[in-house]
Structure 1
Amino acid sequence: MPTLNWVGKDEVLNHNPAYYTLEKKYTFNSKNSENMIIKGDNLLALKALLPQYENKIKCIYIDPPYNTGNENWVYNDNVNSPKIKKWLGEVVAKDDLSRHDKWLCMMLPRLKLLHRLLSDDGVIFISIDDNEMANLKLLCDEVLGGGNAVACIPRLTSAQRPAQENFISTKHDYLIIYAKNKNTSYFNKIIERDLTKIRIDNIGKYFDGDSSPILASSTQGYSVGGDYDFEYNGKIYKPVDSKGNRRRWLWTIERMKAAAKLGILVETKTTLRVKNYIDKEFQVGTNVMVNKNENLIATSFDLMNSNFTNDKGTGEIEKIGISNFTFPKPQNLIEFCIKLATDKNSIILDSFAGSGTTAHAVLELNKKDGGNRKFILVEMEDYAENITAERVKRVIKGYGKEPENSATGGDFSFYELGDRLLEENGNLNEKVSIEKIREYIYFSETKEKCEQNDSDFLGECNGVAYYFIYKKDDITTLDFEYLAKLKKASNYVIYADVCVLSNETMMKYNITFKKIPRDIKKV
């Protein structure tokens, strides 16, 4: 499989960013909320989400910089590399010969963290245009696996035809879609049919003349079990094609009889077909009619219409009373992604949150179908509070007289990045609360969320009990006195400053000692 190489790749792969805590600043419209808006560097914020959300996010949508050279984005990851440090703080301009290297260095670690956060049946959607589409596709193949690529869908960005253009005016971008694992992921049928020409009978809804063949084609082979004559409405139908060639029926005679009894067979001049229903399906095995989704599967052409253009997104935020934000994505684009890949209880993450369209889409969908979807937004720019969060507040409370702009209800908590958990010298940062330290330790050992953060005992996972004996102002010791306090378990992992137990004692009780802070893992 082709892979990308670029300036700084090896250094970025070897860089493990520090772990920072998340500090809640306030909760809007409730005492507590599972919805989150985080202000801060999205690389650090994504890492801070790992203890609670690794392998938990059903749908990720991101809209990273397109790297057009006109966006004023800056590479700011503090990678320990002299050549990368020269990039820090510099706006990535169009004439910057290293702008593609910088963009890939920015995207790679974020994509790897997003991959960790995705659930096993999760899906990621990425908006991009021709400036980085080819690079992003190869990068996603490398991080997410080429076999998990789902589609690259073009989206119409503008319906306006320019008055002048030297070559061809580009009026589309792309939505790149990858599954965490295509073997376990699923997509919903979300494209609504045009039901203006439907007919209804005693079974269900159908389009007049819409039917499927029951007679096998020449490429479907022959079998003795399907070679029989069938009587229907006083006429004998043989499994022969229009040229008189003997074929076979696709169904067994029992299934054919069941269809005849239901009245779903359609007679043509020479053969039989089966009527296609919009809302019903002739189930294999039981040979009965069962309900099915009336909608159609999405196609790669569904976003190439004016309903999804950028001016729709601009109009939406202007109605909310927010201006001076360029190229916001339209709400129905994000709804398309969410409806395609989630259920009513999914968690949706957007780590390039911008104007907050993803939260808007989640809240509107919950209002429409009574869902309980949750959102997590991350935005590093200064407008995270006065645009991103402000938009979500207005959507929750309602912002217009039109029914579609009425209050969605809901809530969220606003966070900022807190303190670094481990200092550069490897010591624990004493500004960090003991509860957050315990949460980190348990996750670093088990990849599970810590539910017991009010004592030394962190929890038990796969037969191993985990303890973290720590006091900010004292040296802690694992000794026989503490040993007597342990809960019964098959094995133990115990953190402390000092251990005075002999190797024989630790082997006897299946104890693994880990010294603070030396043995604390970096996630």
Structure 2
Amino acid sequence: MLIQGDNLEALKALLPFYAGRVKCIYIDPPYNTRSAFEQYDDNLEHTQWLAMIWPRLELLRDLLAEDGSIWVSIDDHEGHYLKVIMDEVFGRSRFIANNVWQKRYSRENRGSIGDAHEYVTVYAQEPELFKKVRNRVPLNEEQAKIYKNPDNRSETDPRKRWRGLPMTAQGYRPNQMYEIVAPSGRVHRPPEGRCWSMIEPEFLKLKAANRIYWGKNGDSQPSVIRFLSEVEGLVPWTWWPHSDAGHTDESKKEANELFGSDVSFGTPKPERLIERILRIATNPGDLVLDSFLGSGTTAAVAHKMGRRYIGIEMGEHARTHCAPRLQKVIDGEQGGISGSAGWKGGGGFRFYRLGPPVFDEEGHIRQDIRFPVLAAHIWFSETDRPWDGSGDSPLLGIEDGRAHALLYNGILGDKRPGGGNVLTRATLALIREDIAKLAPDFDGPLTVYGEQSRLTPATLDRERITFKQTPYDVKARA
């Protein structure tokens, strides 16, 4: 989903549909560097910058899933203030890390001290849960060089590269102190102060599977064979060198290939940086959100990696650059991470322009809002959960033992004034029918929104109905 429009209003519009459902949020907001880009006014006063970022972070927090995380690119101009704001919005206990990304590989001699890095600040909705679900990062070639191919196996063989891991552990355990006879006949015992790292039956299983290495001469102390293809990866750490996460020259080349050399997005991010974030924080099929989409990098990378995504960009280049970039991805564009991701093309996206807000300046609903949009807002305001309804029934759903219904915009097919938007015995009967279909044994209270009610207070009380009048009882979320 690609949305053109103000990201504050777009996030408000997304909340009733996606609250608590976004696995990973990545944003690259203006850095307030006192320089002007063609697409952004990045020369904001400090207090204006704070006022801009705070409400957006609050909305992003509400969109984040329980096991989700938010990643924010920033530099030293506002980085420390961002940390304080995010401590306030998310809670200090939800801080995960402040990753240092080496954005340059060559020196510059213009400033007092060369600017070589930026930050990617990370918070998680539930840090302990995030620790369990986050993925490790794959080894790069420098880290993997200790895994050799001594058997000269085919390049297509996943077991071609391996290394021997020591088979001893510190301490003394009686059932791990047995003798081992090497193929040469040499007898091995654990070194002093150590024991074998496994009991003898486990060792014999590995030996039978040819997973024990005895050295070139077949008489060395045994070690366990570990194949590179079995290595899960490394726990991410906070130092992200350009060799792992790309650099700004790389991202400028990517942008030039996509848009031409006359296009500049100020501080473009390389696809490899976004790939690293999504690899750690998500799995295929997860939902990714970027509300400062810029040139569309996050959406492009998410598409190539098989993630679902929502990108928001207010500028005209949402149409002139982001959408064409995503179309090139669909057509099989081979720049950026396409090679490493095995990307060949496919899929699709939807382009939206942000319409008028649901609520006017006084917080009341606008008269021309469609039923599904208002239904989603009412459901969210009543339950604090996103709405999954289809919009073909006045019954919005049942949550925590209470049913919710909306009579609006002729949902019952009666377009006459005072017709299907009014709570009467007839419209109540239709709502009760829908409740019976959804939950035959339901006997709880019911909230109904409508233009007016023609049922007496005694009837409402007897039927356990709370009636709320539209538009006056429908309020915007603070």
**TM tier, shorter chain?**
0.7 to 0.9
Contact 1:156 1:306 in 2 (8 A): no
Write the distance in 1 (CA, Å) between the matches of 2:400 and 2:29.
39
Where do 1:139-158 residues align within 5 Å?
139-158=85-104
Match of residue 324 from structure 1: 263
Alpha carbons of structure 1 residues 213 and 168: separation in structure 2 relative to 1, 3 Å:
farther
Question: What amino acid is aligned across from residue 349 of structure 1 in structure 2?
Answer: L
Match of residue 423 from structure 1: 360
TM-superposed CA distance for 1:379, in Å, is: 0.9
Match of residue 474 from structure 1: 417
Task: Find the partner of 2:228 among 251, 269, 278.
Answer: 278
| 1:267-294 deviation digits (Å, cap 9, x = unpaired) | 69996543333234xxxxxxxxxxx54x
Match of residue 413 from structure 2: none
What SS does structure 2 have at the residue aligned with 1:428? coil
Task: Find the partner of 1:100 among 46, 50, 66.
Answer: 46
Alpha carbons of structure 1 residues 304 and 468: separation in structure 2 relative to 1, 3 Å:
same
Contact 1:496 1:516 in 2 (8 A): yes
Q: Does 1:457 align with 2:395?
A: yes
Q: After alignment, is 156-165 or 124-133 more displaced? A: 156-165
Question: What amino acid is aligned across from residue 417 of structure 2 in structure 1?
Answer: D
Alpha carbons of structure 1 residues 428 and 193: separation in structure 2 relative to 1, 3 Å:
closer
Match of residue 291 from structure 2: 351
Q: After alignment, is 154-163 or 502-511 more displaced? A: 502-511
TM-superposed CA distance for 1:471, in Å, is: 4.6
Match of residue 386 from structure 2: 448
| 1:104-137 deviation digits (Å, cap 9, x = unpaired) | 2211111111122122222222111111111222
Contact 1:360 1:392 in 2 (8 A): yes
Q: Does 1:434 align with 2:379?
A: no
Contact 1:426 1:517 in 2 (8 A): no
Q: After alignment, is 477-486 or 350-359 more displaced? A: 477-486
Match of residue 412 from structure 1: 349
Write the distance in 2 (CA, Å) between the matches of 1:352 and 1:206.
42
What SS does structure 2 have at the residue aligned with 1:420? coil
Task: Find the partner of 1:229 among 178, 188, 192.
Answer: 178
Match of residue 47 from structure 1: 12
Contact 1:265 1:275 in 2 (8 A): yes
Alpha carbons of structure 1 residues 48 and 275: separation in structure 2 relative to 1, 3 Å:
same
TM-superposed CA distance for 1:521, in Å, is: 4.0
What SS does structure 1 have at the residue aligned with 2:366? coil
Write the distance in 2 (CA, Å) between the matches of 1:471 and 1:393.
36
Task: Find the partner of 1:251 among 183, 198, 203.
Answer: 198
Write the distance in 2 (CA, Å) between the matches of 1:359 and 1:501.
51
Question: What amino acid is aligned across from residue 179 of structure 1 in structure 2?
Answer: A
Structure 1 regions of 5+ residues with no counterpart? 1-35, 76-90, 281-291, 366-370
TM-superposed CA distance for 1:190, in Å, is: 3.4
Alpha carbons of structure 1 residues 402 and 163: separation in structure 2 relative to 1, 3 Å:
closer
Write the distance in 2 (CA, Å) between the matches of 1:190 and 1:490.
51
Q: Does 1:198 align with 2:145?
A: no
Question: What amino acid is aligned across from residue 100 of structure 1 in structure 2?
Answer: H
Contact 2:255 2:263 in 1 (8 A): no
Contact 2:24 2:282 in 1 (8 A): yes
Alpha carbons of structure 1 residues 66 and 164: separation in structure 2 relative to 1, 3 Å:
closer
Write the distance in 2 (CA, Å) between the matches of 1:159 and 1:198.
29
Alpha carbons of structure 1 residues 401 and 214: separation in structure 2 relative to 1, 3 Å:
closer
Write the distance in 2 (CA, Å) between the matches of 1:456 and 1:178.
39
Match of residue 514 from structure 1: 468
Taking only aligned residues, the RMSD between alpha carbons, in angstroms, comes to 3.4
Alpha carbons of structure 1 residues 52 and 193: separation in structure 2 relative to 1, 3 Å:
same
Alpha carbons of structure 1 residues 200 and 121: separation in structure 2 relative to 1, 3 Å:
farther
Question: What amino acid is aligned across from residue 123 of structure 1 in structure 2?
Answer: S
TM-score by length of 1: 0.74
Match of residue 333 from structure 1: 273
Write the distance in 2 (CA, Å) between the matches of 1:74 and 1:224.
70
Match of residue 70 from structure 2: 124
Q: Does 1:496 align with 2:450?
A: yes
Write the distance in 2 (CA, Å) between the matches of 1:404 and 1:259.
38
Contact 1:189 1:298 in 2 (8 A): yes
TM-superposed CA distance for 1:240, in Å, is: 4.4
What SS does structure 1 have at the residue aligned with 2:283? coil
> Aligned residues: percent identity?
30
Match of residue 85 from structure 1: none
TM-superposed CA distance for 1:519, in Å, is: 2.6
Contact 2:9 2:357 in 1 (8 A): no
Q: Does 1:168 align with 2:113?
A: yes
TM-superposed CA distance for 1:60, in Å, is: 1.5
Alpha carbons of structure 1 residues 37 and 143: separation in structure 2 relative to 1, 3 Å:
same
TM-superposed CA distance for 1:253, in Å, is: 4.0
Write the distance in 2 (CA, Å) between the matches of 1:344 and 1:427.
40
Question: What amino acid is aligned across from residue 278 of structure 2 in structure 1?
Answer: I
Alpha carbons of structure 1 residues 59 and 200: separation in structure 2 relative to 1, 3 Å:
farther
Structure 2 regions of 5+ residues with no counterpart? 411-415, 437-441
Contact 1:127 1:173 in 2 (8 A): yes
Tell me which of the two structures has the higher relative contact order, counting C-alpha pairs closer than 8 angstroms and 6 or more residues apart: 1
What SS does structure 2 have at the residue aligned with 1:279? helix
Question: What amino acid is aligned across from residue 232 of structure 1 in structure 2?
Answer: V
Alpha carbons of structure 1 residues 224 and 73: separation in structure 2 relative to 1, 3 Å:
farther
Alpha carbons of structure 1 residues 232 and 502: separation in structure 2 relative to 1, 3 Å:
farther
What SS does structure 1 have at the residue aligned with 2:2? strand
Task: Find the partner of 1:315 among 228, 245, 253.
Answer: 253
What SS does structure 2 have at the residue aligned with 1:154? strand
Q: After alignment, is 258-267 or 103-112 more displaced? A: 258-267
TM-score by length of 2: 0.80
Contact 2:136 2:236 in 1 (8 A): yes
Q: Does 1:179 align with 2:124?
A: yes
